[in-house]
Amino acid sequence: MSGDVAAFAMAQRPRLAAAALKDAGITALVALALFAPLVGLRTDVAPNGALFLRPRWAEVAILVLLAFALRLGLVYWQAMRGPPRLPSAARAAVAARAGRLFAPVLLGLAVLLPFIPGTGRYELDLGILVLTYVMLGWGLNIVVGLAGLLDLGYVAFYAVGAYSYALLAQHFGFSFWVCLPLAGIMAAFWGVLLGFPVLRLRGDYLAIVTLAFGEIIRVVLLNWVSLTGGPNGMTGIPRPSFFGLPFSMSGGEGTFAGFFGIEPDPIHRVVFLYYLILILALLTNWVTVRIRRQPLGRAWEAMREDEIACRALGINIVATKLTAFALGAMFGGFAGAFFATRQGFISPESFTFIESAIILAIVVLGGLGSQIGVAVAAIVMIGGFELFRDLEEWRMLVFGAAMVVIMVLRPRGLVGSRTPTVALGQRRVIAAEHVAEGRG
Amino acid sequence: MAYALQQLINGISLGMIYGLIAVGYTMVYGIIGMINFAHGDIFMVGAFVALIAIVMIVSGGLMEGPGALVLVLAIAMAFTSLYGWTVERVAYRPLRGSFRLAPLISAIGMSIVLQNFVQVSQGARVKPLEPQVTGGFEIMRDGDFAVQLSNMQILIVCTTLFVLAVFTWLVTRTSLGRAMRACEQDRRMAGLLGIDTDRTISLTFVIGGSLAAVAGTLYLLRYGVIDFYIGFLAGVKAFTAAVLGGIGSLPGAVLGGLLIGLIETFWSAYFSVQYKDVAAFSILALVLILMPTGLLGRQEVEKV
Amino acid sequence: MSATLAAAADPAARLGDPILEVDQLTMRFGGLLAVDAVSFAARRGEITALIGPNGAGKTTVFNCITGFYRPTGGALRLHRADGAAVELQRLKDHRIARAGVARTFQNIRLFPGMTALENLLVAQHGPLMAATGFGIGALLGLSGYAAAERAAIGRAAAWLRATGLIDRADDPAGALPYGAQRRLEIARAMCTGPALLCLDEPAAGLNPRESEELARLLRGIRDGSAVPGAGATSVLLIEHDMGIVMRISDHVVVLDHGKKIAEGPPAQVREDRHVIAAYLGEPEEEQA
C-alpha cells in the first residue's frame, strides 16, 4: 500500500514541485506583508519621548525565507504521507492498550521521583508545578470533559481556594489540614453560586459568562484591598506542617527533622509538598474515576451526549449540572489552597484568564474526559514550557504556536476515545467520532 | 446634567470602538459558529500597524492633515486584514467541521501567539504617541463645568458611522454579502449551490480584520498609548458587546458596543473606576440570564 | 408531591380504565393555535394511536404530555396504579418521567458515545441514584449499591434480549444500524419502568420486516410478555405507517389542524368519513 503511494508520488513529482514552489512563493509573499511592518519597522522611544522607527530588514528576510522553507516542507510532507494506516477504532484500541501499561508506569515514576538520583530541588519544584496543573486539569475535566459544560473561568475557583486558605489561616490560625477542606467547600459553594444562574445557558454563551465571572472575581480580589491586600496580595501565609511538626531549620524537638532524628534540610519541605500535591491529584483522579462508573457520572456523560434525552429519562438536569460545577470547583479549591501554602504569597496576578485558558487547553489537548490524556497533556504543556526557559520572551510565543499546531494535528486531543463504564462482555473503547462534546 | 451629557459623549465614542470590534466577533460567529478569540489581538495589531504608519508618515514629515490620517487608516486596514486572513487560514480552516472546542483552543493559542509576537517584535514597553487630532468645541457650560466635544470624538463617531455604512452596504447589497448570509444560514447548502464557502469565510475574516484595524487606529488616536496587551480586555468587552446585542446580529453588535461603552463610562463617572469591568460583566451575566439570546438575537426554538 | 390527588375509591387499577386523560388540551404558539381543546383518553393495557396528517398537532400533544411544552390550557391526568391521579401539566419534564411517562423521539435521541448497555443504565438513574446514598455510599464502595447495579444490569440485559440487541450491548449506540437504534430507544424508555410509554413515530424508516418485529415488541410491551417479570405497560403512539397502526392499536385518535376529528377502534376510524376526507384520502392508501 505504502509502495503504491510512493510510486504515485514519484510520477507526480514534477507537477508537485511546481505546485509546491508556487504555494511556498505565495506563502513567502504573505509572510513578507505580515512581517514587514511589525518586524521590519520597530517603534522605539527616543530620549526626548518621541517615537522613531528602527528598520530591521534582515530579520524580515530571515522570517520570509523560513516561511518559504516551512511551507515547501509541509506541502511535500502532505503529498508523501499515505492514508492513515489504521481506522480510528483500531487506533483507539491500540492506544487504550498502550494506555493501560502507560498509566501505572507514569504513576510509579511520579511516586519514586524524589528518590531518583539526580532529582534536586529544581526537578521537584517542576514536579510540583506539573502536578498542580494535572490536578487542575482533572478538576476541570469533570466540568468540561464529562459534563460537557464549557467553563472559561475555572481559575476563579483556584483563586477562591487560595484566598480562602490564606484568609482562614491568617485570621483564625487554622492549620493546613483544617483549612484545606474548608477551602474546597468554599470553592464548591462558589461553584454552585456561579453555576446556578448559568444553568440555562449553552455553549459559547456559557463560555463567555464563566469568563466574565472569572474576571469579576479577579477584579474584586484586586480592589478589595482591606480584605485581600489588593494588587500587593497576601504575604506570610503559613507553610504546611507535617501533621503538626513544622519544617524548621533549627532541628529542635518539635520539628520534623528533630522528631525523626534526621539532619534538617530545606528539601524535606519540598519533598513533603511534592507528595502532598501528588496525593491531592490522585484523590481527584480516584473520585472522578469512581463517580464516572456510577449513576451520577453516567448522568454527566449522558447530559454531554444529549440533554433533552436526559430530561425525558427523569434526570434532574439542575442537580446534575450543579454537582459537576461544585465538584470541579472543589478540586480547583483544593489546588488553590495547596498553591497558597506552597508559595506563601498570593496575588491576583496568579489568577488571570490565561491560567483558565491553559487549564482548558490541557483538558482539550489531553482529550475530553480522558484522565490519562489530561495528565500527559499537563506534563507536555507545563514541562515543555519549562524546557523552553532559555527562549525567554519567545517562550509564550512557542507555547501559543504549539497549542495551535497540536489542535490542528489532533483536534480530539491525545485520547479522544472513551472507555465504557460497564460492560456485559469485554469492555471495548469507543472511537472518538461517536462521542459527543456537549453543547453546554 | 452637564456632567451626564459629557459622560454620554464619552460613552458613545468609546462604545463606537467596541462596536467596531464586536462586529468582527459577531460576523465570524454567525458564519462559522466559533468565538474568534484572537480577534481582540487583531485589533491590537491594527493599533500597532497604525502607530508605525503614523510614525512613518506624520512624524517622518511625508504628509500631514486629514489626508495623512486616511492613508494611515488604509495602511492599517490593509495589513491588519491580512493578519485576519492568515489567522483563519492557519488556525481555523484546518479545523473546519471538526469538534467545536478544537477551534476555540486553537483561537486561544493564536491569541497568545499574536500578543507575544508583537511583544517580541515591538517590545513590551508602552508606546506613547503625541496627540494627532486636537481641539474641539465647548457645547455647553454649567457653572464652571464645560461640556467638551473634541474633534477626536467627532472623528471617531464620523469614521465609525461611515465605515459601518459601507459595511452595511457590503453585507446587504453585494453578492459577497449574499454569499455571507447564505453561509450563515446553511453552509453545506450554500456550498451545494455553488458558493465558494472557503473564500466567503476568508473574506469575512478580512472584513472583520479591517473593521478591527479602524477600531485600533481610532483607539490609538484617542488614547495615545498602546501596548501588546490592549487586545485582551478590549476583545473580551467587545465580545461581551456582541453577546449582549445578540450574537450573529450585526446591528446588535453595534448596539451592544454602545451599551458597554455607556455602562462603563457612567459607572466610572458615578461609582468607581476600579469596578467598571465588573459592571460591564455583571450586566452581561444579567442580560444573558434573563434573555439567553441577547437583546437582538434570534430566538432559538428547541426542536424535540 | 402536591399534584397528587387522593383517589376516592377503588385503589386497584383495572384494565380498560383510563391511564391518561387529556382534557381540553390547548397549546398556542404566538398566534398559532397548534392544539385546540383536544380531549381523549388512553386506556390501561391498550395501545392508543394518535394519527393525523402532517402539522395536525400530534407531536405538540406529545410534547405537552411529556413536559417539553407547557400547555396553554387544559389538563393532563395520569392515573397511577394505586389509583392516585397526577396532574402532568403542573410538573417539570424530569418529574413527569419519574411519575411514569417515558418517551422516544421522532429523530432518535440516544447517547451515541455510550454503549447500548450504558444507555439503559442511564435510564435507571433514579433508583440507582437512591441506592448510592446520593453518591457518598457508592464512592466508598458500600455493598448496597453493588447489588442495585447488578439488578439494573439484569434489567437492562433483559430488555436488550427482548429487543434483539443483546449481542450489541457493548457497542456504542451511535454505531448501531438505524432500526437497532429505534429499538434501543424503546428499550431505554422501558428501563425507566413507565406506566405509559409514548412513542413518536417508532416505525419511521423501518423496513417491513423491522416493522413487523416492532409490532410484536409493542404487543409484548402492552401485554407484559416482552420481558419476564415486567408488568403490562400502556402505550401511546404517533405513527404514519397505517399498516402498523391498524394492526396493533386498540384505540385510534385522529387529529387534524389541532382538533380531534374522530376516535374509536381502528376498524371504525378507518370507515369514518371525516378521517378519510382529512387524512386517508383514497381508502387504498391505508395499506401503504
Q: Mind listing the pLDDT tens digit for each residue in A39-92?
A: 888 888 888 878 888 889 999 999 999 999 999 888 888 877 765 555 556 666
Residues of C in contact with B302 (CB under 8 A): 68
List pLDDT tens digits, range C44-70: 889 999 988 888 888 899 899 988 888
CA B189 to chain A, closest CA, distance in angstroms equals 23
For residue C9, what pLDDT band results from cuts at 50, 70 and 90?
very low
Please tell me which of the candidates B49, B94, B109 has its beta carbon nearest to residue A401.
B109
List pLDDT tens digits, range A366-422: 888 888 889 999 998 888 888 877 777 788 888 899 889 988 888 888 877 888 888
Residues of B in contact with A435 (CB under 8 A): none
Q: What is the pLDDT of residue C136?
A: 64
Q: What is the pLDDT of residue B75?
A: 94
Cβ neighbours of residue A282 under 8 Å, at least 6 residues apart? none
Question: What is the percent of chain B where pLDDT is above 70?
Answer: 98
Residues 303-362 in A contacting C (C-alpha not used; CB under 8 Å): 305-306, 308-317, 323
Mark which of A43, A59, A80 sits at the end of a domain.
A80
Mark which of A48, A80, A112 sits at the end of a domain.
A80
Question: What is the percent of chain A where pLDDT is above 90?
Answer: 34
- Assigned domain for A107 exists: yes
Answer yes or no: do A257 and A385 share one domain. yes
Answer yes or no: do A58 and A186 share one domain. no
Answer yes or no: do A8 and A99 share one domain. no
CA B30 to chain C, closest CA, distance in angstroms equals 26
Answer yes or no: do A225 and A293 share one domain. yes
Expressed as residue numbers, the domain containing C14 is 1-100+196-207+234-288
By mean pLDDT, which of A66-70, A167-171, B297-301 is the weakest?
B297-301
Residue type present at position B158: C
**Grid cell digits, residue A349:** 496576578
CA A202 to chain B, closest CA, distance in angstroms equals 9
Cβ neighbours of residue C3 under 8 Å, at least 6 residues apart? C86, C87, C90, C91
Answer yes or no: do A108 and A76 share one domain. no
Please tell me which of the candidates C67, C170, C174 has its beta carbon nearest to residue A420.
C170
**Yes or no, beta carbons of A43 and B127 under 8 Å apart:** yes
pLDDT at B39 over 50: yes
Q: What is the pLDDT of residue C10?
A: 44
- Assigned domain for C28 exists: yes
User: For C23, which DSSP code?
Assistant: E
Cβ–Cβ < 8 Å for B258, B12: yes
Cα(A263)–Cα(C250) distance, integer angstroms: 88
Residues of C in contact with A369 (CB under 8 A): none
CA atoms within 13 A on the CB side of B294: 30
CA angle in degrees (0–180, nearest 5) for B41-A356-B244: 60
Q: Which CATH number is C10's domain given?
A: 3.40.50.300
Expressed as residue numbers, the domain containing A351 is 93-434
By mean pLDDT, which of A97-101, A357-361, C253-257 is the weakest?
A97-101
**Yes or no, beta carbons of B113 and A400 under 8 Å apart:** yes
Average pLDDT over residues A11-28: 81
Cα(C52)–Cα(C62) distance, integer angstroms: 13
The kind and range of the H/E element at C26 are: strand C18-29
Highest average pLDDT, of A53-62, B211-220, C201-210, comes from B211-220
Q: Which CATH number is A289's domain given?
A: 1.10.3470
Residue type present at position A130: V
Does ipTM top 0.95? no
Q: What is the pLDDT of residue B17?
A: 93
For residue A95, what pLDDT band results from cuts at 50, 70 and 90?
low
CA A155 to chain C, closest CA, distance in angstroms equals 26
Q: Measured on CA atoms in the order A391, A395, A399, A401, is the torsion positive or negative? A: negative
Considering only alpha carbons, which residue of chain A is nearest residue B284?
Answer: A209
pLDDT at B66 over 50: yes
- Assigned domain for C136 exists: no
Residues of A in contact with C189 (CB under 8 A): 312-313
- Assigned domain for C52 exists: yes
**Yes or no, beta carbons of C94 and A290 under 8 Å apart:** no
Q: How many domains does chain A have?
A: 2
- Assigned domain for C147 exists: no
**Yes or no, beta carbons of B55 and A400 under 8 Å apart:** no
Q: How many domains does chain C have?
A: 1
Residues of C in contact with A423 (CB under 8 A): 115, 117, 169-170
Give C31: exposed, middle or buried? Use CB within 10 Å, 0-12, 13-18, 19+.
Answer: exposed
Cα(B112)–Cα(A358) distance, integer angstroms: 11
* Alpha-carbon torsion, ordered C123, C127, C128, C133, to 10 deg: 150
Answer yes or no: do A164 and A220 share one domain. yes
- Assigned domain for A391 exists: yes
In sequence order, the β-bridge partners of residue C198 are C103, C236
Answer yes or no: do A113 and A14 share one domain. no
Contacts 24+ apart (CB under 8 A), B130-138: B130/A50, B130/B224, B131/B224, B132/B54, B132/B58, B132/B69, B132/B221, B133/B69, B133/B221
Q: Measured on CA atoms in the order B4, B6, B8, B14, is the torsion positive or negative? A: negative
pLDDT at C175 over 60: yes
Q: What is the pLDDT of residue B42?
A: 96
By mean pLDDT, which of A207-216, A271-280, B58-67, C161-170 is the weakest?
B58-67
Q: What is the pLDDT of residue C287?
A: 43
Considering only alpha carbons, which residue of chain A is nearest residue B304?
Answer: A308
Q: What is the pLDDT of residue C176?
A: 92
Answer yes or no: do A219 and A74 share one domain. no
Answer yes or no: do A205 and A300 share one domain. yes
By mean pLDDT, which of A123-127, A272-276, B278-282, C212-216 is the weakest?
B278-282
pLDDT at C2 over 50: no
Touching check for A404 and chain B: CB below 8 Å?
yes
